[in-house]
Homo-oligomer: A and B are copies of this chain.
């Protein structure tokens, strides 16, 4: 078993964003709402967290973006998954499973003395 990427502990946000985009292209504000909805209000992602994250993911070619004007004048910036982003999502999802399995193993391991 290889050691897991430490940033997963804190970095599950990226994985969740990519997962949302696996379904449809979305714009930032919509992602915040969707995550909140699909997680039963557990994830209340802040705009100040999301937008810089989207920019950095686009820079890394995980995401591509395009603008779309809706209802008269409002402009939204839609994001879509790239092939690279799709691959990254697969990897992170696997790591997440390894990580949670390990935590649950420790948590469920009961109290056996090892003195």
Contact = CB atoms under 8 A, between A and B. Distances in A.
Interface of A: 1-4, 9-13, 15-16, 19-20, 22-24, 34-35, 38-44, 93, 96, 98-100, 102-103, 105-107, 109-115
Given A22-B111, A23-B111, A39-B102, 5 more contacts: A10-B10, A35-B106, A39-B106, A42-B99, A96-B107
- Stoichiometry, as copies per complex, reads 2
| Pairs of residues from A and B, 10 with the lowest C-beta to C-beta distance, nearest first | A10-B10, A23-B111, A42-B102, A39-B102, A1-B40, A9-B10, A24-B113, A38-B106, A1-B41, A3-B44
Contact of A40 (B38, B105, B107): B105
A33 to B, nearest CB: 9
A114 B34 contact: yes
Q: At the interface, is chain A mostly helix, strand, loop or mixed? A: helix
A24 B114 CA distance: 7
Contacts of A103: 12, 16, 39, 96, 100
